[in-house]
């Protein structure tokens, strides 16, 4: 099973995460405040989890960024530091 990390706690992130789950992927949604995603996790169908941006970026074989454009640059920099490829 492929691990898909969806970075973002908004409606777009939820839609993408739910779509990946429906297709049989394991999904981790991420936020600066993972507790904001607790309700999503309880209603998600499939192998769903939540974590920080760094945790999800390290876990995911595919990483989908679904944050506002102004936040994306900092997120990519933080995620690269957590990536196994940068170790």
Specify if 9 maps to a domain. Answer: no
| Contacting residues for 87 by C-beta, under 8 A, at least 6 apart | none
The Cα–Cα gap between 73 and 80 comes to 11
Strand order in the sheet with 3-7: 48-51, 26-30, 3-7, 62-65
Cα torsion 16, 36, 65, 80 to 10°: value is -140
Residue 10 lies in a domain: no
Q: Does residue 42 sit within a domain?
A: yes
Number of domains in the chain: 1
- Does the residue 87 lie in any domain? no
Is residue 71 a part of any domain in this protein?
A: yes
Q: How confident is the model at residue 73 (pLDDT cuts 50, 70, 90)?
A: low
How far apart (Å, rounded) are the C-alpha atoms in residues 59 and 18?
18
Domain coverage including residue 35: 18-82
Between 2-11, 65-74, 76-85, the lowest mean confidence (pLDDT) is in 76-85
What is the structure's pLDDT at 68?
77
Say how far apart CA 51 and CA 69 lie, in whole Å. 21
pLDDT at 15: 97
pLDDT surpasses 70 at 87: no
Above 90 in pLDDT, residue 76? no
- What whole-number distance in Å separates Cα of residue 53 and Cα of residue 59? 10
Q: Tell whether 1 is covered by a domain.
A: no
Per residue in 17-64, pLDDT (tens digit) is 999 999 999 999 999 999 999 999 999 999 999 999 999 999 999 999
What pTM does this model have? Answer: 0.82
Identify whether 35 is part of a domain.
yes
């Amino acid at each position: 099973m492929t691990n898909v990390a969806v970075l973002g706690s908004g409606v777009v992130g939820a839609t993408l995460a739910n779509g990946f789950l429906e297709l049989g992927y394991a999904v981790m949604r991420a936020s600066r405040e993972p507790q904001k995603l607790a309700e999503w996790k309880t209603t998600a169908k499939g192998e769903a989890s939540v974590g920080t941006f760094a945790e999800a970026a390290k876990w995911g074989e595919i990483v989908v960024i679904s944050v506002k454009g102004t936040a994306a640059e900092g997120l990519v920099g933080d995620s690269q530091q957590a990536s196994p490829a940068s170790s």
